[in-house]
Amino acid sequence: MIEERFDAIVVGAGMAGNAAALTMAKKGMKVLQLERGEYAGSKNVQGAILYADMLEKLIPEFREDAPLERHLVEQRFWIMDNRSHVGLHYRSEDFNEERANRYTIIRAQFDRWFSSKVREAGATVLCETTVTDLAQDAYGRVIGVRTDRQDGEIHADVVVLAEGVSGLLGTRARLRERPKPNKVALAVKEMHFLPRETIEARFNLNGDEGVVIEAAGTISGGMTGMGFIYANKECISLGIGCLVADFQRTGRTPYELLDRFKRHPSVAPLIEGSEVKEYAAHLIPEGGYKAIPQLYGDGWVVVGDAAQLNNAIHREGSNLAMTSGRIAAEAIFQAKSRRLAMTKENLALYKRMLDRSFVLKDMKKYKDMPRLMHTNSQNFFLTYPQLISKAMQTYLRVDGTPKTEKQKSTLKSFVNARSWIGLFGDAFRFARAWR
């Protein structure tokens, strides 16, 4: 056993773990952070968009040296059928501000930088170390961790579980359930490299301006899922994800889905001639507010993806991870500075603080959305995109058909597909889940 005792052990060096370790180290706590990858970021996968506000609260001057790709000036949302897409674009010169609001990043590089800040703040960061179990006393209180190193048991007052979506330790210790197939999505992603001038020309960008495209429709083959295309400096992150339960049900393969997305006539020209340098896969928590587990107990707290903190509607995950990590660290520090033991009762402060933050307020707002999307996937991801696309084509194609007839046939196609009751029902349920 390692005799040295720590104030806190943080498991994982992703967004949540780094935020927690940094916050506690800055406050002078004795922090040990354990990461199973060769370096922080080597096991982490994300799209990825970084929201500046949440990082600014941790590292106000991050823009000086953080590895940022492009600041976003444009957001596109595509509803796709097999041959076309109907798009909603928002582009604003206002996003060309000095302190930009959103950036694309490359996680392996960003996390490495983030980890260097954690080290600078005084935390001990130990990579290439897999935590195999939580160490618990006879009363079930968490007193530390066991690792795959020799003499690998290490003790601390509190363990911060920032172990990611799969969250092995917490589930092994029966602190929470393992994620279920209908509460996680599997996303696959490729990195497509192209000269930066080519990317800027294809996406209509100047300098470091960036664009993200989110896409839904027949590309997911009736499964609950979305595709994404993010422009980085010299590469494009392109991926697609669907619920694991849907993959299980349909027998579709993730790589075939990715390949179909890449070959779509709206996507193919964007990546033509690119060199693929990495293929990655990752789970995304999709269960929403109702899937959030117990967040604290005797000697432990759970943060980020491991706590299912992901707002699927707004595609916000890493900022919730960062914020929950920071808030957990602040709660722990408050307990410590009042000389309180790290008991379940005292660590409940973390949950109270999280309840007051945007993290749980936003999650709560969309608490009914996952069920609506997951139980109506055929309508939302197959029927409607096809109907909308057909309606647009009918509207735009000039062929001598009187407009009244066109409108009638479009309306009829919607009613035939979903019936009046179905249409009103879908609209009502959607509005209710959204409000």
Partner 1 sequence: MKVERSVRVEDKLFCNRYLVDAGRPHIKVRAHTKPSPQLLALLKACPARCYDLNDKEQVEVTVDGCMECGTCRVIGEPTGDIEWGYPRGGYGVLFKFG
Which of 27, 70, 107, 176 binds partner 1 (CB under 8 A)? It is: 107
The residue type at 316 = E
Residue 36 in contact with partner 1, rule: CB under 8 A: yes
Distance, CA of 242 to CA of 186 (rounded, Å): 6
∠ CA 41-44-47, rounded to 5°: 115
Contact 302, 10 (CB under 8 A): no
Q: 384 CB contacts (<8 Å, ≥6 apart)?
A: 79
Residue 40 in contact with partner 1, rule: CB under 8 A: no
Nearer to partner 1, 308 or 386 (CB): 308
Residue 268 in contact with partner 1, rule: CB under 8 A: no
Distance, CA of 433 to CA of 426 (rounded, Å): 11
- Stretch near partner 1 under the rule CB under 8 A, chosen from 116-124, 175-183, 196-204, 374-382: 175-183
- The beta strands (E) that lie in 129-260 are given as 131-136, 142-147, 153-161, 184-193, 209-217, 225-231, 235-243
Nearer to partner 1, 279 or 395 (CB): 279
Which of 5, 57, 89, 277 binds partner 1 (CB under 8 A)? It is: 277
Q: Indicate the DSSP class of residue 102.
A: E
Nearer to partner 1, 129 or 346 (CB): 129
Distance, CA of 199 to CA of 197 (rounded, Å): 5
Nearer to partner 1, 12 or 299 (CB): 12
Q: How many CB atoms lie within 10 A of CB 426?
A: 17
Residue 273 in contact with partner 1, rule: CB under 8 A: no
- Stretch near partner 1 under the rule CB under 8 A, chosen from 15-23, 116-124, 164-172, 328-336: 164-172
Which of 12, 17, 37, 304 binds partner 1 (CB under 8 A)? It is: 37
Which of 18, 23, 33, 46 binds partner 1 (CB under 8 A)? It is: 46
Tokens of 91: 């582009």
Distance, CA of 337 to CA of 250 (rounded, Å): 53
Nearer to partner 1, 212 or 349 (CB): 212
Tokens of 383: 């029927």
Residue 343 in contact with partner 1, rule: CB under 8 A: no
Strand partners, 242: 186, 225
Which of 33, 44, 319, 346 binds partner 1 (CB under 8 A)? It is: 44
CA atoms within 13 A on the CB side of 395: 10
Nearer to partner 1, 42 or 394 (CB): 42
Q: What are the φ/ψ torsions at residue 319 (nearest 5 degrees)?
A: -75, -30
- Stretch near partner 1 under the rule CB under 8 A, chosen from 280-288, 294-302, 338-346, 397-405: 280-288
- Stretch near partner 1 under the rule CB under 8 A, chosen from 34-42, 310-318, 348-356, 403-411: 34-42
- Stretch near partner 1 under the rule CB under 8 A, chosen from 17-25, 221-229, 281-289, 419-427: 281-289
The SS3 assignment for 182 reads: coil
Residue with tokens 């295309």: 229
Residue 66 in contact with partner 1, rule: CB under 8 A: no
Helices (H), 204-317: 244-250, 254-263, 268-271
Residue 166 in contact with partner 1, rule: CB under 8 A: yes
Distance, CA of 433 to CA of 270 (rounded, Å): 34
Residue 244 in contact with partner 1, rule: CB under 8 A: yes
Q: Residue 119 burial by CB count (10 A; 0-12/13-18/19+): exposed, middle or buried?
A: middle
The SS3 assignment for 92 reads: coil
Which of 2, 86, 205, 281 binds partner 1 (CB under 8 A)? It is: 281
Nearer to partner 1, 11 or 347 (CB): 11
Residue 33 in contact with partner 1, rule: CB under 8 A: no
Which of 137, 259, 272, 355 binds partner 1 (CB under 8 A)? It is: 259
Contacts with partner 1 by CB under 8 A lie at 36-38, 41-46, 48, 106-109, 111, 127-130, 132, 147-149, 165-166, 168, 178-181, 184, 186, 188, 190-191, 235, 237, 244, 247-248, 251-256, 258-259, 276-283
